[in-house]
Amino acid sequence: MLTKMWTRFAPARLAVVFLGNRLAGAVVQQDRVETFVVEAEDPAAALRAELDARGLAPRTVALGLARASVTVKPIELPPIAGELADMVRFELERHLPFPADDAPFAFLPLPAAGEGEPGAAGATRVLIAATDRRVLDTALRLAQDARLRPVSVTVAAHDLLALVRAPRGQRVVWAHVCGDAAELLLVQDGGLVLSRSVPLADDGALAAEVTRSFGPARWRGCDAVWVSGDAGPSGAALGALGAPVSAPPWTERALRWLGAAEPGPRGALTLALAVAAGRGVRPLDLLPAALRPRRLTRPQLTTAAVFAATVLLALAALLVPGLRDGRRLAALDREIARIEPDVRAVRGVLGDLERKRRLLATVEEIEVTAVRPLPILRDLTDLLPADAWLTTLALDPKGIELVGQAAAASTLIPLLENSPRFERVEFASPVTRGRDREQFRIRAAWEAPRGAAAPPAPAPPGPRSVPPRPGGAPRS
């Protein structure tokens, strides 16, 4: 399902090859291959109708020209310092059969070494491709009328190299038959050295044309001969070249595309598929520079790659420590979550121990600082005379208060003052006289023990009343 959806939305690559009064087209969209031939008085309208009928909506087109409509030849430039393009433009007029003032051209360098005549010392050999301005304008006008944007204009036969695995270190002659003509390609180390378009008269004439092509290419022979396209010459005629004759070593993709091509002129449809297979910067592209898609040059790609690597390293330098710290924090969080129950249990035990410690300290403080009433009652029993008794005895942290009756209340003050337990003994209220006794209320402070800074300040157990006993002595 995903493959079908991707095939449906993948960009379609359209190629159109101009072959005289007909057009050969090919559309490649992932594994979908559509091929067709258009012959009409209005080729642009017929091309658009063909695309609409097949449900294809490409936006761009790669244009391929017939080899016969383009001049392709190797030339040798003198050893003069200067821009190579300017030197080629200066030499064009001597090699073109049409005016070179406004002729679109392209070139590519050729290997300097050759087996033919040696060239001048320091000379540069290039392979040029040039065509009449009217031929290029016709192709561009057709693309414009068909609402397509051209991305390249090349010699269709040159794009055949995109469908094969060209062997390195070998010189190969490729004869591609298209109708009544044969496109000859001379390939060295996987690159184009020379191309020619020759009429297909008979097998011997084709072999003679191949031999004649060795001179401009500076070859003495070839290592292999490939034959493709329509029904071509027999292997026996080309075998006289002294090299094995076979079909081109098509790539797996090329075999799938050729197998999916519709019935029709095999040579023309193969050229259309070859133009559709070419991608990126194509050699000998005749499309004007103003119309070419913007492509980064090798130095620009290098700069962009260095910049991208720098950005990635900077991001890594910023993110890697954070990721490492994040992993450490996650590990710590997991460890904390694991020991959290034990921590809560320990905290609970510590809380219980703290509460018990405070309770124990309170109990010890009470035992140390609490007022003990029994020893005080025993001392009062010994101090007070027999004719005095107490009705109320109140103890507090500051002292003691005595309420009772005595025959002479004033005699009680010195008795209590002489006690080592009391000090600052005084009447808390005036003494009242009854029939035979005096009512008194005496207040005394606790005497601080020697060496102590202050009297004890415990919380008293509360006022206590001690009723008198017979004989006047207080009782507990």
What sign for the dihedral angle of Cα 90, 95, 101, 102?
Answer: negative
Look at residue 120 and tell me if it is in a domain: no
Q: Is the pLDDT of residue 467 over 50?
A: no
Distance of alpha carbon 282 from alpha carbon 437, whole angstroms: 141
Q: How far is CA 460 from CA 394, 417, 427, 449, 464, in A?
A: 9, 22, 22, 19, 10
Same domain, 381 and 454: yes
Look at residue 43 and tell me if it is in a domain: yes
Structure confidence at residue 7 as a pLDDT band (50, 70, 90): very low
What is the rounded average pLDDT of the residues 413-433?
A: 86
Distance of alpha carbon 413 from alpha carbon 411, whole angstroms: 6
pLDDT, residue 168, reads 85
Same domain, 262 and 144: yes
Instruction: List the strands of the sheet with 149-155, edge to edge.
Output: 32-38, 22-29, 13-19, 60-65, 149-155
Same domain, 145 and 28: yes
Rounded to two decimals, the pTM is 0.62
What percent of the chain shows pLDDT beyond 70? 86
- Across the chain, what does the average pLDDT equal? 82
Query: How many structural domains are present in the chain?
Result: 3
From the list 78, 168, 76, the residue with the least C-alpha distance to 114 is: 76
Same domain, 390 and 448: yes
pLDDT, residue 372, reads 74
Q: Is the pLDDT of residue 362 over 50?
A: yes
Same domain, 244 and 263: no
Look at residue 176 and tell me if it is in a domain: yes
Look at residue 416 and tell me if it is in a domain: yes
Same domain, 235 and 256: no
Domain stops at, among 249, 265, 282: 249
Look at residue 384 and tell me if it is in a domain: yes
pLDDT, residue 408, reads 85
pLDDT, residue 137, reads 92
What is the rounded average pLDDT of the residues 339-353?
A: 91
Q: Is the pLDDT of residue 62 over 90?
A: yes
| Residue in the structure block whose two tokens are 């009343």 | 465
Distance of alpha carbon 415 from alpha carbon 253, whole angstroms: 131
pLDDT, residue 149, reads 92
Same domain, 308 and 405: no
pLDDT, residue 420, reads 84
How many of the other CB atoms lie within 10 Å of CB of 435? 4
Residues 65-95 pLDDT 10s: 999 999 999 988 877 767 888 888 888 888 8
Structure confidence at residue 399 as a pLDDT band (50, 70, 90): confident
Residues 15-60 pLDDT 10s: 999 988 889 999 998 778 999 999 888 999 999 999 999 888 889 9
From the list 160, 137, 140, the residue with the least C-alpha distance to 152 is: 140
Residues 209-258 pLDDT 10s: 888 988 888 888 888 999 998 876 666 677 778 888 889 999 999 999 99
Same domain, 66 and 156: yes
What percent of the chain shows pLDDT beyond 90? 29
pLDDT, residue 155, reads 93
Residues 116-152 pLDDT 10s: 455 555 678 899 999 999 999 999 999 999 999 999 9
Distance of alpha carbon 190 from alpha carbon 18, whole angstroms: 25
How is residue 160 annotated by DSSP? G
Structure confidence at residue 449 as a pLDDT band (50, 70, 90): low
CA–chain centroid gap for 294, Å, is: 26
Structure confidence at residue 10 as a pLDDT band (50, 70, 90): low
Distance of alpha carbon 230 from alpha carbon 205, whole angstroms: 17
What is the rounded average pLDDT of the residues 425-454?
A: 79
How is residue 145 annotated by DSSP? H
Q: How far is CA 67 from CA 48, 56, 98, 127, in A?
A: 25, 28, 16, 14
CATH number at residue 214: 3.30.420.260
Domain stops at, among 229, 249, 269: 249
Same domain, 174 and 152: no
Residue 234 is part of which domain span? Answer: 166-249
Look at residue 470 and tell me if it is in a domain: yes
Q: How far is CA 356 from CA 348, 361, 369, 472, in A?
A: 12, 9, 20, 47
Look at residue 178 and tell me if it is in a domain: yes
Q: Which SS3 state, helix, strand or coil, does residue 200 take?
A: coil
Q: Which residue has the higher pLDDT, 197 or 231?
A: 197
Same domain, 62 and 194: no
Structure confidence at residue 375 as a pLDDT band (50, 70, 90): confident
Same domain, 469 and 407: yes
Q: State which H helix or E strand residue 192 sits in.
A: strand 191-199
Domain stops at, among 233, 249, 265: 249
Q: How many CA atoms lie within 13 A of 220 on its CB side?
A: 5
Q: Is the pLDDT of residue 113 over 70?
A: no
Residues 275-322 pLDDT 10s: 998 877 788 889 888 887 776 667 777 888 899 999 988 888 888 888
pLDDT, residue 112, reads 66
What is the rounded average pLDDT of the residues 417-446?
A: 86
Look at residue 380 and tell me if it is in a domain: yes
Same domain, 402 and 261: no
